[in-house]
Structure 1
Amino acid sequence: MASPNQKIVLITGGNQGVGYETAKNLVLFSQDYHVILGSRDVSKGEAAAKELQATDGIKGTVSSTQIDVTDDQSVDAAALRVASEYGRLDVLVNNAGIVSTASPPTREALRPILETNVVGSLSVTEAFLDLLRKSAHKPPRLVFVSSSTGSITHAADRDSPYYGPGAAEYRASKAALNMLMVMYHARLGPEGFLVFGADPGLCATGFTGDPEALRRRGGAEPWQGGERVASVVKGERDDNVGRVLGVYGVSPF
């Protein structure tokens, strides 16, 4: 159970990959954080939480909750549980996402990617807004885990490392997510919210099902991606609120 002095952080898709590494970074960094790992699969979320709880040097605390960002009932139930157990939320990290590497792009692949990466992020944000407004550690933070591959500026620049036709569905979803982030920044900024996009960069996770292939392409280790997202949560990138923040700085839209 979290103490009143801790910041309550919910990370969707927190049981693996960059979400898990973000949580790990926070709870190893400071006793000030209680991280809730959001997971579609209850058993996987509980196992990840137990693994973090047993990590040497842990300072913060961790728990898990079931949440499928594509299921309205699951999202609303998760919000009710967090309200009942904690009464507030201080940071929401919309991290859950899926990808397709099929080529050429298909409508069958695009629909679930938009449903998860974009609609899911909106659904979770709206469900947890009232709890964020009750944050005990102002300002409340809202973080959308994005990607430089969603930058239209990069995508249109032949000299950019992000130029190319691959992963069209995923890239379109991240471009849409960037717009969603900006709209929340415009809407919630006057209330005192800090809203960001956080780009962990290409990381050798199980996201595509082949972490070694990602590593051969120069992908960073998962802990490095988690560190980049955690830096936004910890307030180290506050000078660029309302922007997408990556390892190289601010990503152009």
Structure 2
Amino acid sequence: MASPDKKIVLITGGNQGVGYETAKNLVLFSQDYHVILGSRDISKGEAAAKELQATEGIKGTASSTQIDVTDDHSVDAAAARIASEYGRLDVLVNNAGIVSMASPPTREALRPILETNVVGSLSVTEAFLDLLRKAVHKPPRLVFVSSSTGSITHAANPDSPYYRPGGAIEYRTSKAALNMLMVMYYARLKPEGFYVFGADPGLCATNFTGNPDALRQRNAAEPWQGGERVASVIKGERDDNVGRVLGVYGVSPF
């Protein structure tokens, strides 16, 4: 069992990119957190956790667990494992996601993106709800890592910087669906005292698209900046806007 002094945080897709940088932000600056890096490939998760633990000046702690959000057995096994090891969860961050940059959109690309980004988030949330209800540090937090590109308001506005007809349609559709999922969980869990958020890290130069340098040429932020934005939601710095999608510029319209 983990010390009751620490907030237990699970981040899916936590072994790289924004997920990893979110974890790093939490454990580097505060001893209050134990972060579990959820990773589809356990060897990558273990390597990432070891790297975090070796970071100079680290104050919190980190570990890893195997979880493939598209595999029900993997999700349920991860929930059972964390229940056995920690007995609770204080924060769940649904971060795992995939993207397609193909144009025009295809049904072959859309199906796995929805399966990972939307169905996977629902699957993980449902599997871990009972552990969140046992949170020692109130309120329990449920965070969906979203994107302003999933805003229907932005997508329909020619004056918006996110108005890009034909670009990443499958991914943007999945994030619009994820925003709805977040709102529904917010309404459902609010009576139980949960804090539910969408967190938008913004465009970051990660390996998400397979070409971080091309993203930098589009003025993408560095991954640590995206991690800082997600971490701010976890740390309670954006609580005035619970139930909303929060990004670098403030609240993202639905």
For residues 100 and 78 of structure 1, the distance between their equivalents in structure 2, rounded to whole angstroms, comes to: 27
TM-score, scaled relative to structure 1:
0.99
Q: Which residue of 2 aligns with 1:207?
A: 208
* CA positional deviation for 1:140: 0.1
For residues 9 and 109 of structure 1, the distance between their equivalents in structure 2, rounded to whole angstroms, comes to: 31
* CA positional deviation for 1:2: 3.1
* CA positional deviation for 1:3: 1.5
Q: Which residue of 2 aligns with 1:24?
A: 24
TM-score, scaled relative to structure 2:
0.99
Q: Which residue of 1 aligns with 2:191?
A: 190
Q: Which residue of 2 aligns with 1:7?
A: 7
For residues 190 and 199 of structure 1, the distance between their equivalents in structure 2, rounded to whole angstroms, comes to: 25
For residues 2 and 174 of structure 2, the distance between their equivalents in structure 1, rounded to whole angstroms, comes to: 34
Give the conservation status (yes or no) of the 8 Å contact 1:99–1:208.
yes
SS of the residue aligned with 1:196? strand
Query: Which residue type is aligned with residue 175 of structure 2?
Result: K
Cα deviation code 1:139-193 (max 9, x no counterpart) = 0000000000000000000010000120000000000000000000000011000
* CA positional deviation for 1:7: 0.2
For residues 20 and 2 of structure 2, the distance between their equivalents in structure 1, rounded to whole angstroms, comes to: 18
Query: Which residue type is aligned with residue 51 of structure 1?
Result: E
Identity of aligned residues (%): 90
Q: Any stretches of 5+ residues in structure 2 without a counterpart?
A: none
Query: Which residue type is aligned with residue 185 of structure 2?
Result: Y
Query: Which residue type is aligned with residue 233 of structure 2?
Result: V
Q: Would you say 1:101 and 2:101 are equivalent positions?
A: yes
Q: Which residue of 2 aligns with 1:236?
A: 237
For residues 218 and 206 of structure 1, the distance between their equivalents in structure 2, rounded to whole angstroms, comes to: 15
Matches for 1:1-253 after TM superposition, within 5 Å: 2-165=2-165, 166-253=167-254
Cα deviation code 1:122-143 (max 9, x no counterpart) = 0000000000000000100000
* CA positional deviation for 1:197: 0.1
SS of the residue aligned with 1:93? strand
After superposition, the CA RMSD in angstroms is 0.5
For residues 168 and 251 of structure 2, the distance between their equivalents in structure 1, rounded to whole angstroms, comes to: 22
Structure 1 runs of 4+ aligned residues shifted over 2 Å read none
Give the conservation status (yes or no) of the 8 Å contact 1:31–1:60.
yes
